A = this chain, B = another copy of it.
């Protein structure tokens, strides 16, 4: 996606070979027009894939996932990293480790919001080693549903996430694929 790659090059910053800072348009300050176009790009890719529901993880995936859900006319479910005392009922949980942030969290969803037998599209801001996506897959499968597609805003193609997900037979649509990055710049796949 040309507009996204241009935003990464002009408004993003490679902190080092692993960390790409895009908090000026994606995950702290948000460019809503770009996010709308990101959502429409995911919708175009997955429109004929018989998707029933969009799922994302709070909070950086919410803006692109909301526009995707709107464009496809489907409900969105936000998987939670934190529970609260008003979150009760039949919960499904799985532990997820974020290597970039150095944290671990209990990814949580109410079972009632993941009906069995549905085909789910998982949307997230980044794909690196795939830990978050695999956490989402575990929750969706525990609910008796199936992850039928994965939409990623920025893929770190030098990490193993895409390879591991494609090995499961899940189509992955990444709108920007970073081959390498560092002080000399950011290089995309293709």
Contact = CB atoms under 8 A, between A and B. Distances in A.
Q: Report how many copies the assembly holds.
A: 2
B28 A113 contact: yes
Nearest to A69: B32
Kindly state the interface size class of chain A when it binds its partner. Answer: 35 or more
A32 B66 contact: yes
A121 B53 CA distance: 31
Given A28-B113, A31-B75, A33-B70, A85 B62 contact: no
B67 A86 contact: no
A169 interface: no
B78 A28 contact: yes
Contacts of A103: 84
Contacts of A152: none
A30 B100 contact: no
A148 interface: no
B73 A101 contact: no
Smallest CB-CB A-B distances: 6 pairs = A59-B59, A58-B59, A32-B70, A84-B101, A32-B69, A30-B76
Contacts of A102: 84-85
Contacts of A36: 70
A85 B69 CA distance: 31
A180 interface: no
A58 B85 CA distance: 17
